[in-house]
Amino acid sequence: MAITPKLTPLQQIEADRLARAAEKPKREFSEEEKALRKDRVAKAKDALARSVGAKGEHVAPARAALKSYLQKLNDPKQPDEAQFETLIQAPFTAPPKKKTNDRRF
């Protein structure tokens, strides 16, 4: 009977993570998907670069959404074309003004 060394909790967590990573199959992208992803990355980076000098309350959240998109590029759930175009245009289009109930004339 062999004596197995005890792992520390941190070592056990790391071993479990490596075991899960080994089980997961690698996702292969077709040439068409690679071209689409490359085009989207270029558009997102261009929108980020152009929106540096933009002003308004809507700019910061829109830039954060673009950065988040670039960070999560390898996630399986990606926005469709309409959502992506909205994401690209968000820093440059001001949201409609909110209507108030002020009855001042």
In a domain, 42, yes or no: yes
> d(Cα 44, Cα 85) in Å, to the nearest integer?
10
> pLDDT (tens digit, 9 = 90+) per residue, 49-90?
999 888 888 889 999 999 999 999 888 788 889 999 999 998
Looking at the whole model, is its pTM more than 0.75?
A: no
Query: Contacts by 23-32 with C-beta closer than 8 Å and gap 24+?
Result: 27/76
In a domain, 21, yes or no: no
In a domain, 101, yes or no: no
Look at residue 101 and tell me whether its pLDDT is greater than 80. no
Q: Are 66 and 87 in contact (CB under 8 A)?
A: yes
Pick from 46, 93, 52: which is nearest to 70 by CA?
A: 46
Domain tally, the chain: 1
Range of the domain at 89: 31-94
In a domain, 11, yes or no: no
